[in-house]
Amino acid sequence: MRIAVDAMGGDFAPQNIVAGAADALRSNGKITKLFLVGDTTRVEAELKKLNFSDPRLQVVHASEVIAMDDPPVQSVRRKKDSSMCRAIELVKQGEADAIVSAGNTGALLTAAHLKLRTLAGVERPGLACIIPAPENIFVLMDVGANLEPSPGILVQYAVMGSLYSKQILGYQNPRVGVFSIGTEEMKGNELTLEAYRRIKQTDLNFIGNVDGHDLFSNVADVIVTDAFVGNAVLKACESSLRVMGRWLKDELRKNPLRMLGALLAKGAFKALRRKADPDEYGGAVLLGINGICIKAHGASSAKAVKSAIRIATEFVESHFNDRIVEEIKRSNAKLQQIPIAQPTV
């Protein structure tokens, strides 16, 4: 399979991106072609530093870069020769099967949506990420694409997120929930109440509302929500873990006895860091567009880029988008038979 990598996107580009792509080529025999799209001089300098060459690798020149703080829509329109847009074009033209970028999230979502378009039957694409919990790994969707979705869009997220859990994560019958502020059916806002009513009528393994307190309690394998809430929840979790790590570190350094204790127990801290390491999970996936699009996080290390490329190959390999088209068609047909709820006071 053929992967287009935006070599200039991210806080540590092109260095980490090129290094991650090289690692991916070294370890992943399924890649038949990898495009590194960006400033040829800089990309080749990185390759030289790594002393890396591979016949499957092709550097594609792009003269512009969409910066992390560029306004998404304008930058996609204006920077036609940006590494991100060029990489997406490779997918559009059928030269690559997937695009991987650690660049500006808004620009990537906009460019992928505009250039690749949505899959048949899909109303809006959504950004899905996976979150590790003690007893399961769950898909949270949407975490960035659609700030004010309709209930129907949340139903489609449930269908696509469920496929993610099944096809990529290997859950046989993923439990799907609507993120809300209480588990009871009547708890929620207008969006979640109506989404609940509709998802209940699909063939999905729907378990109802998921309360924020139960995020990590193995109650659902797929949790759907709007992008505002999804993004808020994801970042709140990340911030909490970071602040707790920092607090713990400060406390452990306060006296020699604690420092000795920390030294003896360091294996535990390492294991914990590994469990919560976002680099293992390779970033978020934009589901519902006509192509595979992986958003690695902005501060991606080489390892994170390599993971993102691995995820891309897994999506390509499972013919993921064909499955989305089938399942969305089935779900749309089923829901068309169900009347829209009248608003209640």
Would you tell me which residues interact with a second copy (CB under 8 A)? 69, 71, 133-134, 144, 147-148, 179, 181, 184, 186, 188-190, 211-217, 227-229, 231-244, 246-248, 250-252, 254-255, 257-258, 260-269, 271-272, 275-276
Between 28 and 150, whose beta carbon lies closer to a second copy?
A: 150
Whole-number minimum distance, CB 199 to a second copy, in Å?
A: 18
Say how far apart CA 76 and CA 108 lie, in whole Å.
Answer: 8
Of 72, 224, 227, 233, nearest to 147 by C-alpha is 227
DSSP output for 119-135 = PTT-SS-EEEEEEE-SS
Rounded distance between C-alpha atoms, residue 52 and residue 56, angstroms: 12
Q: Which of 77, 92, 75 has its CA nearest to residue 8?
A: 75
Nearest residue (CB) to a second copy, 50 versus 262: 262
**Residue 236 CB, nearest approach to a second copy (Å):** 4
Give me the least distance between CB of 337 and a second copy, in Å please: 30
Q: Of the two residues 221 and 314, which places its CB atom closer to a second copy in the complex?
A: 221
The least CB distance from residue 234 to a second copy, in Å, is 7
CB of 186 to a second copy, least distance (A): 7
Question: Between 59 and 262, whose beta carbon lies closer to a second copy?
Answer: 262
Calpha distance 117→100 (Å, rounded): 17
Strand partners, 142: none
Instruction: Considering the complex, state which of residue 83 and residue 146 has its C-beta at the smaller distance from a second copy.
Output: 146
Distance CA 187, CA 206 (A): 16
Distance CA 88, CA 76 (A): 11
Least Å from the CB of residue 331 to a second copy: 25
* Least Å from the CB of residue 293 to a second copy: 19
Are residues 96 and 19 in contact, defined by beta-carbon separation less than 8 angstroms? no
Both structure tokens of 114: 């505009």
CB nearer a second copy, residue 244 or residue 338? 244
Q: Which 3 state secondary structure label does DSSP give 345?
A: coil
What token pair was written down for 20?
């991650």
* CA distance linking residue 39 with residue 48, whole number of Å: 14
- Our CB check for a second copy shows the closer of 144 and 174 to be 144
Whichever of 36 and 296 has its CB closer to a second copy, that residue is 296
Q: Are 131 and 140 in contact (CB under 8 A)?
A: yes
Tell me: cis bond preceding 174? Omega within 30 of 0 counts.
no
Question: Measured between alpha carbons, how far is 67 from 88 in angstroms, rounded to an integer?
Answer: 16
Q: How far is the CB of 114 from a second copy (least distance, A)?
A: 17
Smallest separation, CB 178 to a second copy (Å): 12
Quote the strand ranges of the chain, DSSP E.
2-6, 33-38, 57-61, 98-101, 126-132, 137-141, 175-180, 205-211, 222-224, 284-287, 292-295
Q: Closer to a second copy by CB, 44 or 185: give it.
A: 185
